Each structure stands twice: as structure tokens, then as C-alpha cells.
Amino acid sequence: MLDGAAAAVRYTPGMDRADHVLVVDDDAEIRKLLGEYLERNGFRVSLATDGAEMRRLLGRSRPDIVVLDLMLPGDSGLTLCRDLRVESSLPVIMLTARAEEVDRIVGLEMGADDYLAKPFSPRELLARIRSILRRTREVASPARAGTHRLRFAGWTLDLAARQLVAPDGVVVALSGAEFKLLSVFVEHPNRVLDRNQLMDLTVGRDGAPFDRSIDVQVSRLRLRLRDDAREPRIIKTVRNEGYVLAAAVERLA
């Protein structure tokens, strides 16, 4: 477990193959509790107290997922999540002492993949970490239908590289949740999917998202796809039914 830039990683057999979790929280007791609990459950863990420490750790290694507190000294968790999303598709779980829906919506709008209000059970956090990592790898698997790249409306989604490429060749960063949702749409083009179907296909039955999470993620996807929110052409809203990817999808070699 790594707490701060000067501490050493405690080595256990197989650590080099273990999933790496970065926990960013200014509460020393929570850092210690989560670090020890996640290590006991087979994860490699790094701990940071604030954004500056998080950036130092990210400069030395790339974790598989970040658990990020909302209320931090200096840059807030929302700011750090936004910055992470600009740079990468690294999955992020937000932690907060506040449970208001507006905070959850803002967290998702900044690119978080999931949201957990304090106090929470470490066991629930563990389940969500495993669920997000599993979903991420299922979507990114090169063996998926024997196709790595899917083209639609001039855009290309690379399932193996987890990249969205714009018609002008610019690579657009997606959160893990955005990537999963877009992959569901491109696998079901021109088919109306209601919120329950989208929740089941993206989160699964072991997730616990709130009612508006799909709407927030669709809004973010439209922004990524440069799709006019008032008159979307790619992901359309079907009133009282759900959403549809209104584009032909071409499978590339």
C-alpha cells in the first residue's frame, strides 16, 4: 500500500499482476481502512491525500481505477475528475459525504463512472470496483465479435484501444461509463432502447445507479459526439420510450 510519494509499496506474490487502485482522500482513517481492505482482497493500492499527490503518483504509474473523494483540500474531486477525463478514460468512482442528487449528477457530468455516498461499506465499494473493471474489460476485449472498430456517422469506436475517433481524426477521451454506453448503442443501431435496458446492458444487476444517470451519460455522449442537444442527429430521444442511435454502423477489420 502506498501512502504519499515517499512511502514504499508492500510487495506480495502476484502483485505485478494485481489490479491497481488509486484512492484519493484527505481522511487518513478512510485511506488506511480502504488500503488495507482492498489489499486483503487482492488489489495493489496507492493512496493520495490531495490532487497534487494524485498527479505525482499518476506520473509514476497508471492505476486501473481511481477512487476519488469529492471534498479535498486544494482542487476538488470534481475538478480532478474533469482533468482526468480530458487526459484519459481511466475509470473513476466518486466518494462524497453528501447524497444530494445534484452532486451525483455533477459528478457524472464531470466524467465519473460511479458515485458512492459516505458512510459506505468497504464491501460495497469493492463490489463496484470489480463491476466497473469487469464491464470495462468485457467491452474492450479484442475477441468481441471478431471486430475491433465500428464506424458510424463518420465516427470510429475502437473497442480494443478504447478510443473514440472523430471524423477529423481527433481522438476523444471517454469515461468508462461513456465508453460502455456508446458501445451498447453501436451494437444496437437504429433500435430504441429504454432506460431499463440501457441500465441493464451498461451497469448490470450488481450496479446501483440512480434514476437520472442514463440521461446524464447520454447528454455527455452527445457532447463528445458534437451532437446538438436541442436537435440531436446521432443519439435521438424517442419520447416516452428511450434513446436510439440513428446511424448505420459499419464493422471494420
**Residue 253: pLDDT band with limits 50, 70, 90:** low
Q: Kindly state whether residues 107 and 7 are assigned to the same domain.
A: yes
The enclosing domain of 211 has a CATH number of: 1.10.10.10
CB-based burial, 216-243: b 16+ in 10 Å, e otherwise = bbbbbbbebbebeeeebebbbeeeeebb
- Structural domain includes residue 226: yes
Cα separation, 63 vs 70, in Å, equals: 19
Q: Kindly state whether residues 112 and 183 are assigned to the same domain.
A: no
At 213-250, the pLDDT tens digits run 788 889 989 999 999 988 999 999 998 889 999 999 99
Q: Which of 109, 76, 69 is nearest to 93 (CA)?
A: 69
**Residue 11: pLDDT band with limits 50, 70, 90:** very low
Q: What's the confidence (pLDDT) of residue 45?
A: 96
Cα separation, 182 vs 166, in Å, equals: 14
Write the DSSP assignment of 51-68 as a string of letters: HHHHHHHHHH---SEEEE
At 179-221, the pLDDT tens digits run 888 998 998 899 998 888 887 777 654 444 445 678 888 998 9
Q: Indicate the number of domains in the chain.
A: 2
148: containing domain:
141-252
pTM beyond 0.75: the answer is no
Q: How confident is the model over 89-105, as a mean pLDDT?
A: 76
Cα separation, 236 vs 183, in Å, equals: 16
Q: How confident is the model over 89-96, as a mean pLDDT?
A: 86
Q: What's the confidence (pLDDT) of residue 113?
A: 82
Q: Kindly state whether residues 105 and 167 are assigned to the same domain.
A: no
- Structural domain includes residue 230: yes
Q: Kindly state whether residues 168 and 241 are assigned to the same domain.
A: yes
SS3 48: strand
Q: What's the confidence (pLDDT) of residue 225?
A: 95
